[in-house]
Amino acid sequence: MKVKYHKEFLNLLQEYPDQISKHLDELFSELLSLLDLENIVSIILLGSASRNELSFSFSSENKIDLHSDYEFVIITKRKIQKNIVDEVNNLIDNLESKWQIRSPLFCIDYGISTLQKFKHTPTTFWSFEVKSLGKIVYGEDAKKFLKDVNIENLDRGNLNELIIIRLWHMFIHMNNAYIEGRSSEYERKVINYYYARNILEIPTILLPRKELLIAGYRDRIKKLQSIDIQSWADFDEIFKEALKIKLNKSSEVNEKKLRQYFIKGYLRLLDIQSIEKFNPEHLRKHLKGFFKESFIRSMRTKYTHLVLFKNYYKFNIFSLKIFFYNNLRIYLILILVYLHYSIIEEDMNLKIEYLKEAFSYLRDISLRNLEYDKTVCYSNNVNILRENLIEFMFIWLYKRSMVDKSDLMEMYSWSEN
């Protein structure tokens, strides 16, 4: 099929190595052959791929390895039939298998939206980046239908929630070998890529607090270098280092530094310097209004919490308070921060103590009576907690996506072989 791509996409293809350009051409030419083009308003490439910020490396045989995903959205006039969606999913599975990308950080991710729904996209940072740097692959420029996002109307609660999401994503991608301290050089390389990528989200959340809204990792780091933020001066070098890793310009990685600055940075975004007073009551008061959302999003959140309450919370006064006072995010922060402290800690006794804290806070919002199991090793306990937390996060984070539980399990069960 001869495809008439949009000029934005054609220009982008010229900026990438041939192997990536061929991937993207194959993906979208085959995708368009499956779709009813009369129903397609636009296909927009999103994320790092649209910004020429993909992370990749080459093997000694010149085979490409991708540590980023190809992400896009299909915008339609009317809803796509289920059988067509199934064909698209099969296409994606076949291409992922055919290309044999080694890194577990790579996937093809997409969404589908009617134009009417797309027009009502909330004024989130995601919407801002799509409108600013998304690339039209096919059809008309549907970005013009998105609302303009600025400092005044930016959904700050949604942006701050990114802290929880990045803490979770970093944890779910740590494979068993890494947790057990027996990972290969390649496995550590992959996880270090992901640490760098997540460190680069710190300026995403930080700059709007300084009344600056900037799209793209490069430009955000560049802007940080030009303004005076004394309280973050110690992060200048790690931001530069993380950007070099993300953009394939550095192979020198200080693994310990990445791990420490990752958790240190996200704690600082919470305006917390240490975990000495890290408890639900302190956090609830400290972060009052931190996750304030628009009315529509707050209704969605209430519905999600209602589903969780029905399926996961203990039915008692304590969990009722969590539900009615909207403190669930507080407990997710506590669980994830203690998990990350446990993983980066070198002293085994402290590792276990931090992990026990994570268990205790998950137990507070769980139907299960979770305890640290002294009869099995530390890494087995991490997996016990992770498997239980997946059940919870599947409802809290993934209920509106096409991700299933097996996909989440694959994120941490990968190995070099």
Segment 5-54, tens digit of pLDDT: 999 999 999 999 999 999 999 999 999 999 999 999 999 999 999 999 99
> What confidence tier does 253 reach under pLDDT thresholds 50, 70, 90?
confident
Q: Which amino acid is at 209?
A: R
Segment 361-382, tens digit of pLDDT: 998 888 778 899 999 999 999 9
Instruction: Name the least confident of 78-92, 237-251, 265-279.
Output: 265-279
What pLDDT is recorded for position 101?
95
Q: Is the dihedral of CA 234, 174, 189, 13 positive or negative?
A: negative
Residue 181 neighbours by CB under 8 Å, 6+ apart = none
Averaged pLDDT score across all residues of the chain: 90
CA gap 137, 10 in Å, rounded: 8
Q: Read off the pLDDT of each residue in 260-270 and give the average, rounded to a whole number.
A: 94
Residue-by-residue DSSP string for 322-370: HHHTT-HHHHHHHHHHHHHHHHH--SHHHHHHHHHHHHHHHHHT-SS--
> What confidence tier does 319 reach under pLDDT thresholds 50, 70, 90?
low
CA gap 311, 309 in Å, rounded: 6
What pLDDT is recorded for position 133?
97
3-state secondary structure of 161: helix
Give the percent of the chain with pLDDT over 70: 95
With the CA atoms of 254, 179, 165 and 332 taken in that order, what torsion angle do they form, in degrees rounded to the nearest 10? Answer: -130
Segment 381-411, tens digit of pLDDT: 999 999 999 888 888 888 767 677 788 888 8
Higher pLDDT, 285 or 274: 285
Q: Which domains does the chain have, with CATH numbers?
A: 7-145 (3.30.460.10), 156-413 (no CATH)
Burial profile 320-343: b = 16 or more Cβ within 10 angstroms, e = fewer: eebbeebbbbbbbbbbbbbbbbbb
Residue 237 C-beta-side C-alpha neighbours within 13 Å: 5
Q: Which residue has the tokens 């940080």?
A: 224
CA gap 228, 203 in Å, rounded: 13
Higher pLDDT, 2 or 271: 271
Name the nearest CA neighbour of 371 among 359, 354, 380, 361.
359
Q: Read off the pLDDT of each residue in 241-267 and give the average, rounded to a whole number.
A: 90
Q: Read off the pLDDT of each residue in 191-210 and give the average, rounded to a whole number.
A: 96
Is residue 277 over pLDDT 70?
no
Segment 163-199, tens digit of pLDDT: 999 999 999 999 999 999 999 999 999 999 999 999 9
Segment 66-83, tens digit of pLDDT: 999 999 999 999 999 999
What pLDDT is recorded for position 318?
67
> What confidence tier does 326 reach under pLDDT thresholds 50, 70, 90?
low
What pLDDT is recorded for position 208?
96
